[in-house]
Amino acid sequence: MFLEVVTPEAILFSSEVDSVTVPGVNGEFQMLNNHAPIVSILDKGTVKIHVHTQNHLSFDDLHGSIEKLPADDKVLTLNIKSGTVEMKDNKVIILAD
């Protein structure tokens, strides 16, 4: 599936991914390929992007530095304050603050 993470300042991420986990207002949930269409509000927390081509990376915050962390799983983590997520036709768009 294709994921795009967008902020008011820039597009932070745009690529094919295996799955994405987001902090919903009622708890964390994960979306995989062929997930049912969904629109949801996001709470403060960590977006976890599972990719098969990147090593584990971590954003300190939306404007912070990127650290390379050792991990077996290939995951990009991004801390957000709030936002919305929409998934439709194997395309996920996260609008993050």
Look at the chain and report how many structural domains it folds into.
1
**CB-CB neighbours of 24 under 10 Å:** 15
d(CA 80, CA 75): 16
29: containing domain: 2-96
How many distinct helices (H) and strands (E) make up the chain?
A: 0, 11
Give the tens place of pLDDT for each residue, 8-18: 999 999 999 99
CATH number of residue 80's parent domain: 2.60.15.10
- pLDDT, averaged per 10 consecutive residues of the chain (97 residues), comes to 94 92 96 95 95 57 48 78 96 96
